Amino acid sequence: MSLRNLKELTIIAKEAFSKTFLVAKSLCFLHVINTHVFTVASLYGPSMLPTFNLTGDWALAERFSHKLGKVGAGDIVILKSPVEPRKIMTKRVMGVEGDSVTYVVEPKNSDRTETIVVPKGHIWVEGDNIYNSKDSRNFGAVPYGLLRGKMLWKFNSIQEIMRGRIKKTKYLRPRRSKK
């Protein structure tokens, strides 16, 4: 092998290493952003009808409000299921620690309600479709530690992001209680 070929191989190797290192740094950066700042979630299932469709909806969620205690009644959150830890859920916060929450016990069978005071370090979550949602009515108040993010925007496809058509929808704003 000649000296010239060796120099060419060295240049190619340096360039390949440089590009590989750039890709690795970019992936690490994206991982940190996805884990600690923002995430994109694919939403499906009937529990949040009519706010979200059965399938095809996407949402941008931020991942720091819940760590700062900035989650309140009306917010839509991403959380780990307390009964199936591998499952991620999307629900609406109905109450935070110290709040008194009245809920329909079995909406399909009766109008009987119960009231609970949300314990310290917990939140009460429910799906918007109370007739088809597994939520705090089934498993009780959820510890803050299971929260994974708070929804910011809903969109129907990745193309909407690329075209700059993400809008804050009225559904993702906190519900105002009627007094």
**Res. 174 pLDDT band, cuts 50 70 90:** low
**Res. 161 pLDDT band, cuts 50 70 90:** low
Residue 162 has pLDDT above 90, yes or no: no
Identify the CA nearest to 149 among candidates 81, 78, 54, 71. 78
Give pLDDT tens digits for 10-68.
Answer: 999 999 999 999 999 999 999 999 999 999 888 999 999 999 989 888 889 999 988 88
pLDDT at 178: 42
Point out the least confidently predicted range of 42-56, 139-153, 163-177.
163-177
Token pair listed for 3:
């000296």
Give pLDDT tens digits for 100-137.
Answer: 999 999 898 888 999 999 999 999 999 999 999 999 99
Give the burial string for 33-58 (b: 16+ CB within 10 Å, else e): eeeeeebebebebebbeebbeeeebb
Point out the least confidently predicted range of 80-84, 114-118, 159-163.
159-163
CA atoms of 158 and 58, how far apart (whole Å) = 8
CATH no., domain 40-172 = 2.10.109.10
Residues known to be catalytic: 47, 91
Residue 85 has pLDDT above 70, yes or no: yes
Q: Locate the domains of the chain by residue range.
A: 1-36, 40-172
**Res. 157 pLDDT band, cuts 50 70 90:** low
Residue 169 has pLDDT above 60, yes or no: no
| Cβ atoms within 10 Å, residue 118 | 22
